[in-house]
Amino acid sequence: MVLMALLFSIFITVIGAIGFVSPAKLIRFVRKFQISAGLYLVAGFRVVFGLALFFAADSSRAPEVIRVVGIIVLVSGLITPIFGLDRFRRILNWWSTRPAAFQRVWAGFALAFGLLCAYAVAPCFPF
């Protein structure tokens, strides 16, 4: 689970970096998930990432924080399908009409979140 948590954290970091550098590329990437299968894929990603964080928490640098973050990510994955595809599309359309600076700030949050998770989980990974 530690390796999985680290890989998911790196993936989120990369997505955040892409969005920070080029918000248009991030929007094009996210638009690919505007179908039912895409919504369930995102939900599954969140559930698996949340479980990976939760189970990797004991050997992380910040076990309590990582455990709580894992639970939050897991719950967000479980409720993602409840919000539905229509709401996802409306949020994405709203977000894509915001200024690039706004989009970069949110991508920066994703970048920072991914880096924080990777930093916290990395000591567990045997190099």
Show pLDDT as tens, one digit a residue, over the chain (127 residues). 889 999 999 999 999 999 999 999 999 999 999 999 999 999 999 999 999 999 999 989 999 999 999 999 999 999 999 999 999 999 999 999 999 999 999 999 999 999 999 999 987 555 5
What is the CB neighbour count within 10 angstroms for residue 18?
16
What is the CB neighbour count within 10 angstroms for residue 111?
21
Strands (E), the chain: none
Whole-structure pTM value: 0.89
| Domain assignments of the chain as residue spans, ordered by start | 2-122
